[in-house]
Structure 1
Amino acid sequence: MDNDMPSRRAFMAAVLIPLGAYAQASPRLPNEVQVSPLLVTSGQPPARALAALGEAGFQAVIYLAPSTVPDAVADEHAILQKQGIEFVHVPIPFGSPEEKHYLEVAGALTRLAGKKVLVHCQVNMRASTMMFLYRVIALHEPPERAYEAVARIWSPRGPWRELMVSQLRKHGVAFEPY
């Protein structure tokens, strides 16, 4: 990921654009956190919100919950496909997130650099945590700043906190999530 400098530079430029430059209104998304004009995390959007993502300029959606969760939108992929929005599904069991899940999410985010992306799950716990790790590990953002988006949603515990701490340590980042 760090070796792909052109994509990383484009993504960093997008992340550093002031939030006021976010011109197109986003559909109402549950637990929405706007990371940058091109990156948004949220809980599970209802079908009507998914159908409005194209009008709001979204070009890709990364879905992090298994499709078997009770509030999953069964035809999410088809709703997005009709709008020309790329759909990436990385089903992460809530009770057992692993490094491989982070690596898959990070790979997708790196590949989608420069596009407007929604990363969502059920509540925005998986999404906010994976986005935090990506911002800190791949984009080298200060963890204190990146963690603010997580803290708006939750305080990771159990396997999610363990994943965060292990990945941060592996990459030499000194930060204790609170």
Structure 2
Amino acid sequence: MTSCQSVAARWVLAMLLQAVVFASLSHAAALVAPNVVTISPALVTAGQPNAASLKALGSDGFRAVIYLAPMTVMDAVREEAEIVRAQGLEFINIPIDFGEPTEAEFARFTETMERLKGQKVLVHCQVNMRASTFTFLYRVLTLHESPELAYEAVAKVWSPRGPWRQLVGAQLKKAGIAFDFY
């Protein structure tokens, strides 16, 4: 192979790699919702997606949706469960009162995430505060990811306060993880 052919081959390889990376990120980019954060090709957190985005989740490779707000919140898509299930996706609602998140709700979230391992999942709430925080705890406590790395996704959305700060602190302390996220 001549040096010119070698340069051309490397350029083609670089373009193909760039296309693969773009394609894996473009699915989340097509999701119209507040504060969309792609954690990995198989995990995305967000605020409330619009109905059109919910209808496209199956074609974007998602296999499940976990909704962490009550179905009665003002901006909820009332027919979300039906839209998601009509695509053959699993829909799970863990209706967390924003002012009172509990350890039991986090345990249910963790059990659900473990059951869905290996599938592409959207975790959402209204603005990605519940979703980003529970996903952070799951990544740190169950997947044993670095708290510093996992917290970057939360920091893109907010800094937990009040009962959320207390819940995160208590869960980290219970697991013996020292991490100052404030």
Q: Please report the TM-score for the alignment, with normalisation by the length of structure 1.
A: 0.87
Q: Which has the higher helix share?
A: 2
**SS of 1:73 mapped into structure 2:** coil
| Shift in Å, 1:45 | 0.5
Which residue of the partner structure matches residue 163 of structure 2? 159
2:45 aligned with 1:38, yes or no?
no
Distance 1:56 1:141 in 2: 26
Distance 1:84 1:24 in 2: 22
Which residue of the partner structure matches residue 27 of structure 2? 25
2:117 aligned with 1:117, yes or no?
no
Distance 1:30 1:48 in 2: 14
Q: Structure 2, unaligned stretches of length 5 or more? A: 1-19
The sequence identity of aligned pairs, in percent, is 57
What is the CA deviation profile of residues 37-64 of structure 1, one whole-angstrom value per residue up to 9, with x for unaligned ones?
A: 0000000001111001111010000000
What is the CA deviation profile of residues 70-117 of structure 1, one whole-angstrom value per residue up to 9, with x for unaligned ones?
A: 001111010011100100110000000010011010000000000000
Which residue of the partner structure matches residue 126 of structure 1? 130
63, 66, 70: which one aligns with 2:67: 63
Distance 1:158 1:20 in 2: 38
| Shift in Å, 1:20 | 6.1
Distance 1:19 1:136 in 2: 25
Which residue of the partner structure matches residue 14 of structure 1? none
Q: Which protein has the larger Cα radius of gyration, Structure 1 or Structure 2?
A: 2
Distance 2:177 2:95 in 1: 26
Segments of 4+ in structure 1 off by > 3 A? 18-21
- Amino acid of the structure 2 residue aligned with 1:145: L
Checking the alignment, whether the CA contact within 8 Å between 1:19 and 1:37 is kept in structure 2 is no
| Shift in Å, 1:169 | 0.4
Distance 2:134 2:21 in 1: 21
Checking the alignment, whether the CA contact within 8 Å between 1:24 and 1:57 is kept in structure 2 is no
| Shift in Å, 1:28 | 2.6
Distance 2:178 2:155 in 1: 18
| Shift in Å, 1:21 | 7.2
Please give the root-mean-square deviation of Cα atoms over the aligned residues, in Å. 1.5
**SS of 1:79 mapped into structure 2:** helix
Q: Please report the TM-score for the alignment, with normalisation by the length of structure 2.
A: 0.85
**SS of 2:141 mapped into structure 1:** helix
| Shift in Å, 1:24 | 5.7
Counterparts in 2 of 1:42 and 1:131: CA distance versus 1, 3 Å: same
| Shift in Å, 1:177 | 1.3
Which residue of the partner structure matches residue 178 of structure 2? 174
Which residue of the partner structure matches residue 77 of structure 2? 73
- Amino acid of the structure 2 residue aligned with 1:48: A
